Amino acid sequence: MGQDLPSGPLAVYVHIPFCLSRCGYCSFFSLPFSAGALAGYLDCLLQEIGLFRRRLGGRISAKTLYFGGGTPSLLDAGQLQAICSCFDLMPDAEVTLEVNPLQITPRFLQALRATPVNRLSIGVQSLDDSNLEYLGRRHRAAQIPGKLALCRELGYHNISLDLIYGLPGSSPGSVSQEVERFARLAPEHLSCYLLSLDEGSPLAAGIAAGDSAPLPPDDLAADEYAALCETALEQGFQQYEISNFCLPGKASHHNLAYWQSEPWLALGASASGWLPPWRYTNPADLQAYHANIEAERILPDAEECGTERTAADYLMMGLRLMKGIDLTDYQARFGRDLATEKAGQLRKLGELGLLELEQNTLRLSQKALFVSNSVIGELL
Ligand code: SF4
């Protein structure tokens, strides 16, 4: 592999694959938490950062740093600080920590204040206890307003909440009410996900065995999504991506790097990164991850992406954004004129009301958002 890795400030993702218990819908790579296992993992992570520093030619400048998981709020402030201080954070760097609501305590937040973390992404998922029970989450709706108030008191003013829709028994009306309940908490950002179950998840097994209620059919889920978008807008949020809503100026800088095909460094087991022209994924297996780092092997099985693949990824990610993609920029990057190359598909999707081409900007229409993968697939 050549040394042609990107220079300049990077978006950095750090994966922490431990959880206190397993949520019923989870098919992510997540392991039971123990302090010893976490400490061993962090040693390995620090070694991995050291290897990347050598490969990238010195300290790594970060414009965003995102701790995701798993449950990264299992790290104490000292452990978070140890990772943060490995990077030269830009003065305005966005540093996000995904937080389990149950871990929000005065002591936790006070200690966190001493770290560069300046954005919290809280896994609320629902403000309806029957949904929380179905999902296998351990917090309850009544706990959440107090947790949010505590975050505000301790100086956190960039807060994102996760919301899951498409649960059994849900309807467009119940999803609208859920969005209204979330809006009453006045977060700066909402990430809204359709519940989908991979075969490996306990809930999928429960549904197959007839022990758990099944999910709504696709057409109902599509109506729920439409209601969700409409209500979020009524509540003063802007939709800037298929699943993401924010108050003005509060879009996630880190996630924008993914959608705008900017380079990102991914660290930790199962994390996937993009250091053009390389895409890589660390093993979703702790032993294999440790073995790679021991052998000083970073960017495992990296795939070198040529123009074809990079242009396809750019379309796939960029069209998720409401602002769409600028075809002049696309042509400058890839030397291709999409409007000519894909004239037939653009016309057909335009006639179906799924794509909008205005001046040089191509974007999905509102009705295409729920079926974005198939619509974008037509263009690839
Ligand atoms: S959904 Fe998130 S918090 Fe729940 S077990 Fe999976 S990784 Fe952990």
Task: Give 262-301 pLDDT, tens digit per residue.
Answer: 999 999 999 999 999 999 999 999 999 999 999 999 998 8
Alpha helices in 154-294 (DSSP H): 172-184, 202-208, 218-234, 253-259, 286-294
Is residue 294 exposed (0-12), middle (13-18) or buried (19+ Cβ within 10 Å)?
Answer: exposed
Find how far residue 253's CA is from the centre of its chain: 11
pLDDT at 331: 97
- Going across the sheet that includes 325-326, the strands are 325-326, 361-364, 355-358
pLDDT band at 318; cut points 50, 70, 90: very high
CB within 8 Å of 226: residues ≥ 6 apart: 172, 370
Span 315-328, average pLDDT:
97
The closest of 270, 247, 263 to 119, measured between CA atoms, is 247
28 within ligand 1 shell (Cβ under 6 A)? yes
70 within ligand 1 shell (Cβ under 6 A)? yes
Q: Is the predicted pLDDT of residue 249 greater than 70, yes or no?
A: yes
Span 145-172, average pLDDT:
97
Domains and CATH numbers, the chain: 10-258 (3.20.20.70), 307-375 (1.10.10.920)
270 within ligand 1 shell (Cβ under 6 A)? no
Q: Which two tokens stand for residue 191?
A: 């990430």
CB within 8 Å of 339: residues ≥ 6 apart: 327, 346, 357
pLDDT at 57: 87
Span 343-361, average pLDDT:
95
Mean pLDDT score of the chain, rounded to an integer? 95
- Amino acid, res. 162: D
How does 221-246 read in b/e, with b if 16+ C-beta sit within 10 Å?
bbbbbbbbbbbbeebebebbbbbbbb
Phi, psi of 205 (to 5 degrees): -65, -40
pLDDT at 199: 81
pLDDT at 202: 86
Q: How many A from CA of 177 to the centre of ligand 1?
A: 25
Residue 346 CA to residue 315 CA, distance in Å, equals 13
**Which one of 15, 18, 28, 125 would you pick to mutate in the ligand 1 pocket, going by the greatest count of ligand atoms within 8 A of its CB?**
28
Q: How many A from CA of 28 to the centre of ligand 1?
A: 7
- Protein residue whose Cα sits closest to atom 7 of ligand 1: 70
Q: Would the CA dihedral through 338, 379, 369, 201 be positive or negative?
A: negative
Q: Which two tokens stand for residue 82?
A: 């140890």
Q: How many A from CA of 104 to the centre of ligand 1?
A: 16
Q: Which two tokens stand for residue 131?
A: 């949904």
Q: Which two tokens stand for residue 350?
A: 């335009």
CB atoms within 10 A of CB 59: 11
pLDDT at 301: 86
| Tens of pLDDT, residues 111-138 | 999 999 999 999 999 999 999 999 999 9
273 within ligand 1 shell (Cβ under 6 A)? no
For residues 119 and 24, the model is more confident at 119
pLDDT at 363: 98
pLDDT at 2: 46
Q: How many residues does the chain have?
A: 380
71 within ligand 1 shell (Cβ under 6 A)? yes
pTM of the model: 0.96
Q: How many A from CA of 100 to the centre of ligand 1?
A: 9
pLDDT at 352: 97
Span 303-320, average pLDDT:
97
Residue 288 CA to residue 197 CA, distance in Å, equals 26
Q: Which two tokens stand for residue 108?
A: 């936790």
| Tens of pLDDT, residues 165-222 | 999 999 999 999 999 999 999 999 999 999 998 887 889 988 999 998 999 999 999 9
